[in-house]
Structure 1
Amino acid sequence: MDTNLLLHNSHLQVVSDIDEMATVVEWFDQFRYTQISYQIWLEGQTALLEGFTNVVRHAHQHLSPETLVDLEVQISPEYFQIRIWDQGAFFDLEAAMENVNQETSQIEFNPLEHESQWGCIFLLKLRKDYGWTISYTRTLDNRNCLLLNKKIAIS
């Protein structure tokens, strides 16, 4: 994204500790009254908290609690983007989401019996029902980046 077109660009770095959730929520609150709608902000906040929780509980599970998590939000006239970088092993999010998509399409699927998949279920819903683009890639510096991108139209 061309940084000259950004309306907001913010970065936060926290240690990999679930108690940092309050700091993450407080930091993200600055975007509540920006040019994006409350609905999109709420979707983004929920995705951010799910992503951060997954980093702490899964990606950094075997790493020091002092391992850093980088968070970034960019808002342009066209896009609302959230990035979460972790230092864990790579996880094939696309395969996991496809697997969840197949499972949730079964008539007998009960989400209450699949608590470990709630994050994927939520991200899949954001993608399918709310138009978010979601990717999880390995970067050249051996980190992973969860990118949550929502196309918006700011007038």
Structure 2
Amino acid sequence: MSLQTDSLSYNSTLHVASDLDEMATVVEWFDQFNCPQLPYQVWIEGQTALIEGFTNVVRHAHSQLNPETPIHLTATIFSEYFQIAIWDQGAIFDLEAELDKLNQKTSDCNFNPLGHEAHWGCIFLLKLRKDYGWNVSYTREAGEKNCLLLKKKITY
């Protein structure tokens, strides 16, 4: 764990194994962002997204990989926005297509999310985007890594 502080931002990184037992370490690491520079609502939304993103990497992206395969996490408070990035080494996944599909399904008044357990993570990310103003993207990076990037404008 490392925390860097300057007049513009807080930044911290963490590397953990692809193991759900690392969740306590991830949550403890993220506690440092529960601070006056970040509204509590943004922090709790971010913490929930981080937990969901980490869980998805372990259960899906890294399910066929060695449990020691690292997951790289960063979180940064900039003067105008908060950002969380989660890097995995799994196969590419088209998050935009999945979110578009779920957006159509969830707009149906008869949609019941309890019947779509396999998609709860994407449903949550869609809700963060639509209802809470988060930018959500998942892209393939150099070195065969994927990055789930979650970004929220900070308003006080």
TM-score (norm 1): 0.94
Q: Quick one: distance in 2 between partners of 1:121 and 1:143?
A: 23
Q: Structure 1 unaligned segments of length 5 or more: list them.
A: none
Q: Quick one: distance in 2 between partners of 1:5 and 1:86?
A: 30
Deviation per CA, 1:72-94: give whole Å up to 9, x if none: 00111111000000000000000
Identity level (%): 66
Secondary structure, aligned partner of 2:32: helix
What's the RMSD between the two structures over aligned residues? 1.4
Aligned pair count?
152
Matches within 5 A, 1:85-104: 85-104=87-106
Structure 2 partner of 1:72: 74
Q: Is the 8 A contact 1:6 1:74 kept in 2?
A: no
Runs of 4+ in 1 over 4 A off after TM superposition: none
Match of 1:118 among 117, 120, 129: 120
Q: Quick one: distance in 2 between partners of 1:89 and 1:57?
A: 13
Q: Is the 8 A contact 1:138 1:145 kept in 2?
A: yes
TM-score (norm 2): 0.94
Offset of residue 153 of structure 1: 3.6
Offset of residue 7 of structure 1: 1.7
Match of 2:149 among 137, 142, 147: 147
Structure 2 partner of 1:138: 140
Q: Quick one: distance in 2 between partners of 1:120 and 1:22?
A: 22
Secondary structure, aligned partner of 2:131: helix
Deviation per CA, 1:89-143: give whole Å up to 9, x if none: 0000000011111111112211111111111111011001110000000001110
Offset of residue 5 of structure 1: 6.1
Q: Quick one: distance in 1 between partners of 2:132 and 2:23?
A: 25
Which residue type is aligned with residue 26 of structure 1?
Answer: E
Q: Quick one: distance in 2 between partners of 1:5 and 1:60?
A: 37
Structure 2 partner of 1:54: 56
Q: Is the 8 A contact 2:39 2:154 kept in 1?
A: no
Which residue type is aligned with residue 19 of structure 1?
Answer: D
Structure 2 partner of 1:8: 10
Q: Quick one: distance in 2 between partners of 1:59 and 1:5?
A: 36
Relative distance call for 1:21 and 1:7 in structure 2 (3 A) is same
Q: Structure 2 unaligned segments of length 5 or more: list them.
A: none
